[in-house]
Amino acid sequence: MAQPVEISITATGRKVTLPTGLFINNEFVPSVDSSDVIQCLNPATEEVICSVVAGSAADIDRAVAAARAAYNTTWGKNVGPVERARLINRLADLMERDRDVLAELESLNNGKPVRVARDFDIGDSIGCLRYYAGWADKITGQTIEVDNKTKLAFTRHDPIGVCGQIIPWNYPINMWAWKVAPALACGCTIVMKPSELTPLTALKLSELIVEAGFPAGVVNTVASLGSVGGAALAAHPDVDKVAFTGSTVTGRKIMEAAAKSNLKKVSLELGGKSPHLVFESADLEQAANWAALGILYNTGQDCTAGSRLFVQDTIYDKFISILVGKAKEMVVGNGFDEKVSGGPVVSKVQYDKVWSYIESGKQEGATLALGGQKRPGKGFFVDPTIFTDVRPDMKIVRDEIFGPVLSVAKFSTEEEAVKLANDTSYGLGAGLHSKDADQCMRVSSALEAGTVWVNQYNLLYNNVPFGGKKQSGIGRELGSYALDEYTSVKAVHWNFGEKLDWPF
Amino acid sequence: MPSTFEYTWDTPVYKGSTSFSTGLYINGKFIDGSNNTTIDVINPTDGKTIASISEGTPKDVDIAVDAAQKAYDTVWGLNCPGNERARLLNKLADLLIEHSDEFAALEALDNGKTFGWAKKADLSMSVDVIRYYAGWADKIHGSTIETSEDKLNYTRHEPIGVVGQIIPWNFPLMMMCWKIGPALATGNTIVLKPSEFTPLTALLAAKLIDEAGFPPGVVNVVNGYGDTVGQAIAEHMHIGKVAFTGSTLVGRKIMVAAAKSNLKNVTLELGGKSPSIIFDDADLDLAVEWAAHGLYFNHGQSCSAGTRIYVHENIYDTFLQKFTEKSMSLKVGDPFGQDTFQGPQVSERQFKRVMDYIESGKQEGATLHLGGHRVGTEGYFITPTIFTDVHPEMRIVREEIFGPVGVILKFKDDDDIIRQANDSVYGLAAGVFTSNVKRAIKTAHALHAGTVWVNCSNTTYANVPFGGYKQSGIGRELGEYALDNYTNVKAIQINLA
């Protein structure tokens, strides 16, 4: 085990060599004490792609030790900012070079369309790396006046140290970049645990880490079950910080484990049930496009999916008919088909979960305006599904479904819309469509979400922060704000003139 | 049609060639100057002409400003997102690296500095600065500011528009990069005037700026004389800001012209007469090395040169002896020679000026402790020169010489040395040598200088600011601080009540 395998991608004829071991200290190695493997499936065909080594708790120990050693010797404060920037930029160059291979691998394992993976997931990831490379030599502290005659006070923004990073399966490469880039720019070392559903691109990217020239141990990749590797990282006494993106349920466990072990710093990017509001003055055609994007992009497998749509009653019928038309235009199929805009959901477990919500929607009395029929044949395909006449207490309205399933309700006043929108324990994203500028300002201020989109949805930029309020998360990614997650502030009080009298 | 400059080197330290247009670079093209005249470029090692470049006129400045304004209104400014500006700057950095040795050789040919120093200092810093500012391009943040819930108040840091940049001859390419880096990162378009003494690396850089893909009109390079092209830039009604590095004398003229025309924003990086203070607990050997570097680096043609060296009386004799030995070990000669430390001064005018100061030192009664003469019979070489037994009123102690000429003074009083060091109209930099941290910090805090080097001298980093107190300048370059020179802050107050 841990030998590379060759994968044949039937649709393009490409052969890809894939490392299958645990990536520790710049080498791919077998598990130290386990023969477990993770089988990686192609969700469009349900076929096995390959198996990779499944890391154990002991392997996590090894990876953390490697990351710590690197932090103390070749990384951390031992490497200058210009060098960190150079390596991160080099990594971006290599991702650019291997863009097509990575896109096909991502599509094979996750199901998303190849062109979306290449242009959006990987394009944004390359931009993210370059963005944080630019920050590496700009992480400044403050000098602070206290007493000019005797004291010098200043802060240093030190790297936090060894970071455990646990990423999800919905945007494997993009989530990898969001975590790796700021951590490296700040001088941290990393033990990365990719999702057990989609570890392949993280392993392929580990080859680029070596090629870019990062010292051994700076980035380590341990594919592992969440309950094994993820839990081990969260509880590890020598990990200084854990960053997790995934479900709120798991996020709680991570935070609990961090509290019980060494009070490591925690940042969490969790679930959402983001509201999407369409007011009567909105450009309905555009709003329908954005609303469709909001629930159907990535087949609804997006933490900020606009999964609760609230439409003002005066335009409700007209808007719904436009929206249903848009949703019908969405082609869901195999990611290697150029015509396709959305792929399957990622796994059988997700497929069953999404369908059980669809069933519950029907049972709780919502009206099915679109979808609701399973496809025959192979592949975890779920077609766009729209429920109308929903009530706030329905499961499909309260719970995060993580599929292309939209719940739609009416509202009459702005106050009612805001109240409905905020009636959730989540607070990740929100969208509103209106041509009334004052209304846009009032409503965007009132919505309890970490990102509010006005007259658009879903689109992010590497230099604008992202994260959740309420139970959607702790901390912010992207923008300059991510730097705060990977630095630790030390204040230095330097006395050069005060003599202390004793006894005090 | 402007001519193409071609040159091939076959030297012990570099073999290679270069080729580029000698025209004015305006709106993405190399063109003749409006008067069809040229300026001769002299090789300071032998006084011979090596090239003729197009001479710009005030009319050419107008043409360049129009091109820059058009580019700003259409394809640059905020029409071009920060990450695209970053991409282009990074591409330029890549090209600078690719042509690194070629640039170093060209700089050595034109300016007289050694190929080795050009490569080690000028080129590496030029690349660092462009990369550094590429990193800032998509991080030009304003603020949102809380006042009350029925107001939305925020700032935007907008580009200024068309900026004028006038650079000196001592670090031609590096000065160009210090200027264009932050200006382009923040979204401005540029009309840049290189020094008429050293235009060549700017022209090669213009060729690469074009190759990198900057849209036409974003960067315009107009060679010409200070009192024609420089003056035209300083007084132009449609240039929103002028940045100048050079002598304090010319800096005043720029500021006056700006005031009289459109009150354009002005930043100046001017002269210095920076003190190096050697306390008696300094690591003496290190202090000698650094103080020599501070004085002689770039043939003394550095605005932050540590040209007044104050040595505590307890160590004066030992220091002087070691410093003299060090000075004597510096080889003056061919910029492309194997062991050369120092080439010629940049021009005949500068050569005469330095020699005049040496003469004035002798006449005012200072002791010529070392050197004080020309080296060879060709070119503008001057040997490392030290004066001792000086007093503060002498011209060689008060005025900026800009050559390999230093004055060494004795001191004994810790408090008085601060007064002596600060006794200058300049305030660009200072050096402090001591092993006592308390003394280092107190002294550094008390000195009136924009940069204080402790136990080092004349080192710069792309991310650490640089600029002068008092008559050494206005504003800061490098670091995040440079961004302020090229942005206009707009506060937007939206009433929601």
Integer Cα distance of B112 and B240 in angstroms: 34
Decide if B88 is inside a domain. yes
Phi, psi of B130 (to 5 degrees): -65, -45
Confidence (pLDDT) at A2: 80
**Contact call for B141 and A148, based on CB within 8 A:** no
R_g over Cα of chain B: 23
Decide if B357 is inside a domain. yes
Integer Cα distance of B175 and B168 in angstroms: 7
Integer Cα distance of A488 and A77 in angstroms: 13
Together in a domain, B359 and B322: yes
Q: What is the CATH number of the domain that holds B249?
A: 3.40.605.10
- Report whether pLDDT(A1) > 70: no
Cα first-last separation, chain A: 67
pLDDT digits (tens, 9 = 90+) for B402-414: 999 999 999 999 8
Integer Cα distance of B191 and B174 in angstroms: 17
Q: Alpha carbon of B297 to those of A303, B360, B382: distances in Å? A: 58, 23, 13
Closest residue to B138, CB basis, from A131, A138, A445: A131
Confidence (pLDDT) at A119: 97
Confidence (pLDDT) at B415: 84
Instruction: Write A12-21 long-range contacts (CB < 8 A, 24+).
Output: A12/A104, A12/A336, A14/A101, A14/A104, A16/A101, A16/A104, A16/A105, A16/A204, A18/A50, A18/A105, A18/A200, A18/A203, A18/A204, A19/A203, A19/A204, A19/A206, A19/A207, A20/A50, A20/A51, A20/A52, A20/A53, A20/A203, A21/A52, A21/A53
Together in a domain, B449 and B366: yes
pLDDT digits (tens, 9 = 90+) for B52-99: 999 999 999 999 999 999 999 999 999 999 999 999 999 999 999 999
Whole-number percent of chain A with pLDDT over 90: 95
**Contact call for A138 and B462, based on CB within 8 A:** no
- Report whether pLDDT(B202) > 70: yes
**Nearest-CA distance B290 → chain A (Å):** 23
Closest residue to B135, CB basis, from A134, A152, A442: A134
The residues of B whose Cβ lies within 8 A of any Cβ of A are: 82-83, 86-87, 90, 128, 131-132, 134-139, 141, 149, 152, 437-438, 441-442, 445, 462-463, 480, 494, 496
Q: What is the DSSP string of A223-242?
A: ---IIIIIHHHHH-TT--EE
pLDDT digits (tens, 9 = 90+) for A281-321: 999 999 999 999 999 999 999 999 999 999 999 999 999 99
pLDDT digits (tens, 9 = 90+) for A135-170: 999 999 999 988 888 889 999 999 999 999 999 999
Together in a domain, B36 and B141: yes
Using CA coordinates, name the residue in chain A closest to B133.
Answer: A134
- Report whether pLDDT(B20) > 90: yes
**Contact call for B438 and A497, based on CB within 8 A:** yes
Using CA coordinates, name the residue in chain A closest to B478.
Answer: A138
Q: Which band of pLDDT confidence, cut at 50, 70 and 90, is reported for residue B151? A: confident
Question: How long a stretch of residues is chain A?
Answer: 504
Chain A residues whose CB is inside 8 A of the B137 CB are 134
CA-based nearest residue to A187, from A89, A74, A66, A91? A74
Domain count, chain B: 2
Together in a domain, B180 and B250: yes
- Report whether pLDDT(A276) > 90: yes
pLDDT digits (tens, 9 = 90+) for B303-316: 999 999 999 999 99
Closest residue to B139, CB basis, from A127, A137, A480: A480
Together in a domain, B305 and B196: no
Whole-number percent of chain B with pLDDT over 90: 96
- Residues 6 or more apart whose Cβ sits within 8 Å of residue A366: A387, A388, A389, A390, A391, A394, A396, A407
Instruction: Write B149-152 long-range contacts (CB < 8 A, 24+).
Output: B149/A445, B150/B495, B150/B496, B150/B497, B151/B493, B151/B494, B151/B495, B151/B496, B151/B497, B152/A441, B152/B492, B152/B493, B152/B494, B152/B496
Per-residue pLDDT averaged across A258-277, rounded? 96
Q: What is the mean pLDDT of chain B?
A: 97
What domain range is B307 assigned to? 275-461
pLDDT digits (tens, 9 = 90+) for A439-455: 999 999 999 999 999 99
Chain A residues whose CB is inside 8 A of the B152 CB are 441
Confidence (pLDDT) at A400: 97
CA-based nearest residue to A236, from A178, A177, A158, A166? A166
Q: Which band of pLDDT confidence, cut at 50, 70 and 90, is reported for residue A498? A: confident
Q: What is the CATH number of the domain that holds B314?
A: 3.40.309.10
Per-residue pLDDT averaged across A275-283, rounded? 98
Together in a domain, B266 and B325: no
- Report whether pLDDT(A59) > 80: yes
Pairing, β A219-221 against β B24-26: unpaired
**Nearest-CA distance B30 → chain A (Å):** 32
Decide if B246 is inside a domain. yes
CATH, domain range A57-270+468-490: 3.40.605.10
pTM: predicted TM-score of the whole model, two decimal places: 0.90
Confidence (pLDDT) at B231: 98
Decide if B466 is inside a domain. no
Chain A residues whose CB is inside 8 A of the B434 CB are none
Chain B residues whose CB is inside 8 A of the A135 CB are 135, 139
Together in a domain, B451 and B477: no
Integer Cα distance of A39 and A89 in angstroms: 33
Phi, psi of A7 (to 5 degrees): -105, 135
Question: Do residues B22 and B5 lie in contact, with contact meaning Cβ atoms separated by under 8 Å?
Answer: yes
For B69, the token pair is 């304004």
Chain A residues whose CB is inside 8 A of the B141 CB are 480
Domain positions in chain A are 57-270+468-490, 275-454
Together in a domain, B446 and B412: yes
- Report whether pLDDT(B148) > 90: no
Together in a domain, B321 and B227: no
**Contact call for B445 and A148, based on CB within 8 A:** yes
Give catalytic residue positions of A: 269
Per-residue pLDDT averaged across A412-431, rounded? 97
Per-residue pLDDT averaged across A468-494, rounded? 95
Confidence (pLDDT) at A145: 87
Using CA coordinates, name the residue in chain B closest to A439.
Answer: B496
Decide if B467 is inside a domain. no
**Nearest-CA distance B128 → chain A (Å):** 8
Chain B residues whose CB is inside 8 A of the A137 CB are 132, 135, 462-463
Instruction: Determine contact: A127 vs chain B, CB below 8 A.
Output: yes
What is the architecture, at CATH level 2, of domain A275-454?
A: 3-Layer(aba) Sandwich (3.40)
Together in a domain, B181 and B297: no
pLDDT digits (tens, 9 = 90+) for B369-395: 999 999 999 999 999 999 999 999 999
Together in a domain, B265 and B280: no
Which residue shows structure tokens 């000669």? Answer: B333
Chains A, B: CB contacts within 8 A come to: 57
Together in a domain, B227 and B335: no
Question: Do residues B263 and B464 lie in contact, with contact meaning Cβ atoms separated by under 8 Å?
Answer: no
Give catalytic residue positions of B: 269
Q: Which band of pLDDT confidence, cut at 50, 70 and 90, is reported for residue A37? A: very high
Q: Which band of pLDDT confidence, cut at 50, 70 and 90, is reported for residue B495? A: confident
**Nearest-CA distance A134 → chain B (Å):** 4
**Nearest-CA distance A146 → chain B (Å):** 14
Confidence (pLDDT) at B90: 97
**Nearest-CA distance A442 → chain B (Å):** 8
Instruction: Determine contact: A137 vs chain B, CB below 8 A.
Output: yes
